[in-house]
Structure 1
């Protein structure tokens, strides 16, 4: 049991620390690059927003989970639990929304010029900021019931209607408003996942056709260097694949927890899976998107940063 507790402490602390550092590095890199006068890609605006909301996901979930693993189960009162879970759900929804938007935007970007999708690219760029604001408003509104039903740890005697999260608990009290909110969240999540899988399939098809054309033009050379656009698309595909994988597993586990009378180890696994994508995503971009290394080299030359990675 002691070894289990130590492992939980190390896992949650390491996952939160590594994820926050990675996302903060990306967020800082994009911001510094922008203020340094270098031109950012349009997609970098989406990646900047994704890094920011991923930090919120990790902080709002990882810190309480880590403190609970260290045995501090009563560090949040009712108000603290309300706001921690509220901001986690909002940030989690924004991460999902931003990732689906990122996938859709990249699919439109690499679509052939004759495609109907290429014609709407300027519109997507124009409405990018309003779309992000809409996502914030949507998730802040739809997760409002959390501020009502989330309570402190074991804050009620009627345990049959309580789902205990070790450091917080939620009181089940179904009503019309909570049902509508749950339906909106469920519909949003399903829609975003469908968009990600559909656009990912489109990108794979475009890349395959492009590869076939390149091989036909260049002969049998299978080792030609992929273009920057192709590498960026491959990075987005990796991000989407990681997100869908962890999200689907965590969704199934979350549903199971509702009927499993709240086994603590299931909640710990669910918390770990929920933070996997925010923790992994910055490193996927750092090591697979060549433009990230380009920005770093530019900034390093301007302000004399140390060399952390050899490119």
Structure 2
């Protein structure tokens, strides 16, 4: 193994392990909160869903990428490649949709003074479930082309029509089922546009509130800050992270597809694609100390009763 493979293996193992641990903690905290009878906030379902799909993104990409970095190139067959890439792409699309829903719903929450917005907010938990199912349906359908054009690395291949994915290979999607590629691109652009628009609206709303009152004047998630303002700041940070990592990774993926860069460039692209799933749970944990205090209090009550 060369030095770049050893370094890549260590980085992918660390990123996958740390990210999976963070998302698992978020899942455990919200599940524990639910079963101990605490009232969940309107966005808690989306946060739980985001932690779950981020775990799938990390595991479906980090584990095979780590194995490939250790020098094992043909450890997956045709069906395994299809399933792993399909799960990864579906989870990646769901992460995008869920982050978009978080941004949009939080904008509605802080702008719920009108009667229409207040009524919408009261129905938000049911709408969250409905939108999650819709995101699943779209993601499963749009990414179904993965089951056609992804192939294992051991099959005979026409070099003019296929390109390597380190441990799998793929037909050129532009010549096979282009409608799915167009649909995926449109969905990504729509979600990114909604996130940018809602984030801008949220910043404008917070600025106007700041001009009217000093109540929400706070920095760095201080304890005196209003809970809704803290949540808004966290979601704005998550959206900014997602958009930044997504744009950089998309540029690198298109470059890899049309050119043949060095191996370190491919590894860097994979690392960037997993940065948001790995970092987002810790942003949410550090910004929401209330749920940690609720879980600790519930655990102490359980110990006393036992």
**TM-score in terms of structure 2 length:** 0.91
Structure 2 match to 1:280: 279
Q: Which moved more, 1:7-16 or 1:118-127?
A: 118-127
**How many aligned residue pairs are there?**
301
Answering whether residue 160 of structure 2 is matched by residue 197 of structure 1, we say no
Aligned to 2:166: 166
**How far does residue 175 in structure 1 lie from its aligned partner after superposition?**
4.8
Residues 121, 112 of structure 1: alpha-carbon distance in 2 compared, 3 angstrom cutoff: closer
C-alpha separation between the residues in 2 aligned to 1:67 and 1:51?
24
In the alignment, structure 1 residue 132 sits paired with structure 2 residue 128? no
Matched, 1:110 2:110: yes
Equivalent residue, structure 2, for 1:20: 20
Within 5 Å, which residues of 2 pair with 1:55-204? 55-114=55-114, 117-153=117-153, 155-172=155-172, 174-175=174-175, 178-204=177-203
DSSP 3-state at the match of 1:113: coil
Is 1:10 matched up with 2:10? Answer: yes
Q: Measured at CA, do residues 302 and 26 of structure 1 come closer, stay the same or move farther in structure 2, by a change above 3 Å?
A: farther
Structure 2: gaps of 5 or more residues: none
Shift of 1:126: 2.9
- Judge conservation of contact 2:77–2:154 (CA < 8 Å) in 1: no
Name 2:208's counterpart in structure 1: 209
In 1, distance between residues paired with 2:183 and 2:291? 35
Which of structure 1's runs of 4+ aligned residues deviate more than 6 A?
220-224
Structure 1-normalised TM-score?
Answer: 0.90
Asked if structure 1 preserves the Cα contact closer than 8 Å seen for 2:34 and 2:40, the reply is yes
CA distance in 1, matches of 2:42, 2:297: 18
Instruction: Report Cα offsets for 1:188-245 as digits up to 9, x if no partner.
Output: 0001111111111111111112222223x89x99999310111111111111111011
Q: 1: CA distance between counterparts of 2:236 and 2:133? A: 25
Q: Distance in 2 between matches of 1:263 and 1:170?
A: 18
Q: Secondary structure at the match of 2:163?
A: strand
Q: Does 2:242 align with 1:238?
A: no
SS of the residue corresponding to residue 155 of structure 2 reads coil
Match of 2:247 in 1: 248
**Which range is displaced more, 130-139 or 284-293?**
284-293
CA distance in structure 2 between the aligned counterparts of 1:19 and 1:221, rounded to whole angstroms:
29
Shift of 1:122: 3.3
Q: 1:139 to 1:11 in 2, by over 3 A?
A: same
Matched-pair contact (CA < 8 Å) for 1:164–1:262: no
Q: Secondary structure at the match of 1:159?
A: coil
Structure 1 pair 125/276, CA: closer, same or farther in 2 (3 Å)?
same
1:40–1:125 distance in 2 versus 1, CA, 3 Å:
closer
> What value does the CA root-mean-square deviation take over the aligned residues?
2.3
Does 2:302 match 1:298? no
